[in-house]
Structures are given as C-alpha cells and as structure tokens.
Chain A
Amino acid sequence: MTRRTRQAVYRTCWILALSAVAIPFVFPFLWMISSGFKSANEIFGQPNLIPSVWHWENFAEIFRYQPFARQYFNSIYIAIVVTLLVLVFSSLAGYALARIRFAGSALLMLFLLSALMVPEEVTIIPNFFLFKWLGLMDTHVPLIVLPVFGSHGIMATFLMRQYFLALPKEIEEAATMDGLSRFGIWMRIALPMSRPALAAVAIITFLFSWNLFLEPLVFVNSLNLFTLPLALSNFTDPYGLPLWHLQLAATSLAVIPILLVYIIAQRQIIESFAMSGVKG
C-alpha cells in the first residue's frame, strides 16, 4: 500500500467509527420527524423510517387539539423579553463589577457568586407563594422574572464582567476626559466593544428560556398561557396516555426551527456555550 491509500483507508475507518457513535444522536431526530407524519396505527408497526402514507393532516390536528399557535407565540415572546432584560441588567451589573471600583463590590461579588450554587428547585417553593401573594399566578410574569434574576442572570453577569475586564481601559479613560458620563461610556463604548459577549449571553439566554420547563409547570395552568415545553407534554388522550403521532409532530415543529438556526450558526452557538462554561 502506498502512503496515500493507507491514509484513505485510515480516514474512512475514522469516519465510519464516528458515524456509528453519531447514530444515537441523529436517529431520534429522524425518527421524531418521520413519526410525526405517521398515522396513530402505523406508529407502532414495522419500524419504517419512511411513512407508508404521509399524514400531513397531523400538523393541522395539532392546532385543533390545543391553541398551539398561541403557545408557540408565548414561547417566542417570553424568550425575547427574557433575553433583552438579561442583556441590559447583566451588562450593567457586569460593567460595574469590572470597571467601577466601589465600596462593597468585592463582597457583592461573593454574594452573587454564591447564587451559582443554588438550583431553581430550592427557591421555587417560596417563589410560588410570593407570586401567589402578588396575584401573579397563571401569568407569564414568573416565567420572565425568575430566569432573569435567578442563577442564569447571575451567570450572565459574570460572563459580561469577564469580557469587560479584558477590554482595553485606555479608550474609556479617553472618553472620560472628553466628558462622557459613566452611563455614556457603558452605552457608547463598552457595549459596542463587547458584541461577542452580548451575542453569547443572548444565545444561551434565549435557549434557556425557550427550554424552561419546571417554572411553566408550577406557575401556569391555562392552556392559552402554556409555553412550548408544557404544550408538548400535553398531547394525551383522556386517560393520560400520549397521542404519539400528534406529540411527535408538535415536537418536530418546536425543535426544527431551533435546529435550523443551530446548523447555520453552529460555530457561534457552540462558542457561546463554551464561554458560559458553567451551565449543565
């Protein structure tokens, strides 16, 4: 064998091995999409990846079964609001912690850092009573407020702080000389220079909100107020058994747009998660 053929053989083996490992990562997506097109009967027959008849009407049925369009919209708008709030608040706080030397900032850092140790499951019980007392049960307010001010928001704050720390100080100092206020520096100089960090925070926050499940489950009861994860878990017959063909069709509708964006922007998205580092 020449060197070149040996390399080709080696490369083929490598690709084959990785493809084998990739099967359990790809197969669920393919099976989800194909099963969404099957009839309730075909779904548990012979395992065919290609449906014998394509039941497009499943997708219409989803919207009759529950207010799916409304629920889809809820997820989108909540994720956008949460993302915007996290961007503003975390970059403000992160900027102060990185750049302004003020009394108590070291203690404050420690205080905020400790939040990263507390899972949502711990604080959700008192929050339940807090929102009940505020008369905000069965609204979207908790789904917006809790991710922003919980450990996710704090994680974003530290990510922003880390990024601000690495920016060159000189530009900001020059701007101070020119009479720009702190707020002006934050808005006109620090923020425009930290686009990569802002993008990373936006991406992980949007996905965090989009995928949130425990909070909607606890705080929301009305079908009209459901978000997607809750809606997906709700395709059941009167006995509580899953209506698989509808559930999988709806899951496809929820997952595919995110996957498409992911495939287009995979580098940026993966980097965002690597930057945050502390999620899991």
Chain B
Amino acid sequence: MTTHAAGRQPVRGFRAPRLSLKYRAAIEGWLFVSPMLAGFVIFFVGPLVGVALYSLTKWNLLTQQSTFIGLANYADALTKNPDFWLVIRNTAIFAAGLVPLNMALALCLALALARPRFGAVFFRTVFFAPVVTSAVAWAIVWKFLLQGQGGAINELLATIGIAGPNWLREPNWAMAAVIVTRVLKMVGLNMILYIAALQAVPRDYEEAARLEGASSWQIFRMVTWPLLGPTTLVIMVITTIGSFKVFDHIYLMTGGGPENGTLVLAFYIYQQAFKFFDVGYASALAMIMFVMVFILTLLQLFLARRNSK
C-alpha cells in the first residue's frame, strides 16, 4: 500500500501480492476439482455418513419416529431375521453361479475372436450388443421368452419333445434362469477386456513355444493364461461386485420370487427401504453391502500388489 502515494504507479498498490507458484497451483487445483468435489461431498460422502447413522436407529417412515438403538439393526439381521441369511445365501449362489460362468464364457469368446479372422468383428459386435442394451429391455424380453405356458423357449423345447419347467415360477429354475440371462447380458464386457489383454500378449512368446513343439493347450496353459493373470483378477473382482449390485434384472424378471428364491441383497435393501419403509434396518443392510464390496476391493488391491512383486 505504500507505493500508492507515489503517483506514477497507482495500480501497483491494488494488485494482490504475487503469489508463489506453489500457492497458485493449490488455488487452481482446488478450483478445478471443486465442482466435482462439491457434488461428490453432498450427494455421495454425506449420504454415506448418513446411511451409517441411520443404521443405528429404529426409523419407520410411516410413523415418522426415529430412535437410537445402537447396533440392534445389525443384531436383528444377523441373529433374528431369517430372511437375512436367505438373502446372503441367494446373493452368494448368484455370485457363485454368475462369476465363473461369465468369466469362462468371456475367455472362450475372447480366445476365439482376439485374432483378426474372418467374421471376428461381426461376432464381437453380436456378443457385445446386450451390454449396450438396457437391462430393463433385456429382462423384459427374457421374462417373455421364459414364460411357462407358451413362452418361446418352452415351445422350442416342446418341438424336440422336452417339457420345459415354468422357469421363473420354480425357485431353483428361477435362480438358474436369472443367472444365465444376466451372463448373456454382461459377458460381452469381460470378453472385450480379455480381448484387449490377449492382444497385448506378444506373439513371439507363443511362436517360441510352438517352435519348441508345445501343443495349443500347452501354450495356453503355460504362456497365455499366466500372462492373463492380472486381467483375470480385475475381471473377477469387477464381476463379483457387479453381481452383488444386480437389481433391475431381479426386479423385472422375478421380483425376488418365487418363495424368495431370487431375493438378493440389492433387491432386499430396496424392498425394506422403499416398500416396507423400514429405513433403519435397510440402512444396516446397505452398510453390510458396503463392507462386503469394500473387503473385495481391498482384496483385489492386495492381490494385485502381491502379483506385481
């Protein structure tokens, strides 16, 4: 401010002092991230804290009362409510069916289509098409195809003399049907990730092995498969987490039925929160889901680090 009186350079005095580069970078950096960060804190971090707090209350939306009850919701889920373990069992079965089936099919398709061959692009496009299709559309069409009476699948089976079951009305068949149709919907994505990984495998390795007299299976087993390790790990975790999150597919195809046979965690949370308005209990379930996904992700990071060593 002292230069102000000097007459010749009046502007100088009103300028902010020259910022050090470091200081300036900090302002710029935080300004650039601020729109995303602000929204993220309000609509993501806040709610995450919120759901943790809700899970400690007994809060029924209809009575509009919420009282602090500590960990009683968790105790309820783990020890009292028989539905909870059924839901965990269903979620585990769904994941245990979906993940290996999805990954095996994705790998086979990728092995068939990774090299530029006649028709490879065409078939890649076909297998990926359900990924860009909405899950709602896919579920609607498959529900239609799987109708017990007059559904296309059963009509086709009838022509070769097989009486198909009422797919979506019998618990075990419903689970199988939901898993298989979900695999068909999502397998293209893993196929693409595997293709990308396969194309990164240097051809020299395989050719060297071939010159040594290795069979195709041996080359796959000893050369290709180990090189795919990191990709397989990532795909496995993504697919497992994805299987925990499946909601629209279940909502539209079975509604969790029959006899709760396809009642999985994501759907159960929705049901408890928005159908039965049991907010506290639903929040505890959401926290349990969060922890499950969290552990899986940490496991992936841990395994990835160990692999890279």
Binding site for B on A (CB under 8 A): 11, 14-15, 18, 21-22, 24-29, 31-32, 35, 43-47, 88-90, 92-93, 95-97, 100-105, 108, 112, 115-130, 145-146, 148-151, 153-154, 157, 182, 186, 207, 210-211, 213-214, 217-218, 228-229, 232-233, 242, 244, 247-248, 251, 254-255, 258-259, 262-263, 266-267, 269-270, 273-274, 277-280
Kindly provide the distance from the CB of B175 to the nearest chain A CB, expressed in whole angstroms. 18
Known contacts A22-B127, A32-B141, A149-B36; A280/B189 CB under 8 A: yes
Q: Which residues of chain B (226-250) have a CB below 8 Å from chain A?
A: 234, 238-239, 241-242, 244-245, 247-248
Kindly provide the distance from the CB of A34 to the nearest chain B CB, expressed in whole angstroms. 10
Contact residue among A100, A146, A247 (Cβ-Cβ distance under 8 Å from B25):
A100
Taken together as a complex, chains A and B put the C-alpha atoms of A135 and B125 apart, in Å, by: 44
Contact residue among A26, A93, A124, A228 (Cβ-Cβ distance under 8 Å from B32):
A93
Q: Which residues of chain B (149-187) have a CB below 8 Å from chain A?
A: 149-152, 155-156, 184, 186
Contact residue among A26, A149, A262 (Cβ-Cβ distance under 8 Å from B39):
A149
Contact residue among A104, A116, A150, A280 (Cβ-Cβ distance under 8 Å from B242):
A280
Is B248 a contact partner of A213 (Cβ separation < 8 A)? yes
Residues in B whose Cβ lies below 8 Å from that of A127:
43, 47
Number of interface residues of B (CB under 8 A): 90
Kindly provide the distance from the CB of A60 to the nearest chain B CB, expressed in whole angstroms. 20
Is B25 a contact partner of A31 (Cβ separation < 8 A)? no
Binding site for A on B (CB under 8 A): 22, 25-26, 28-30, 32-33, 35-37, 39-40, 42-44, 46-48, 50-51, 54, 109, 112, 117-119, 121, 123-138, 140-145, 147, 149-152, 155-156, 184, 186, 189-190, 192-193, 196, 234, 238-239, 241-242, 244-245, 247-248, 251-252, 266, 269-270, 273-274, 279, 282-283, 286-287, 289-290, 293-294, 297
Is B286 a contact partner of A125 (Cβ separation < 8 A)? yes
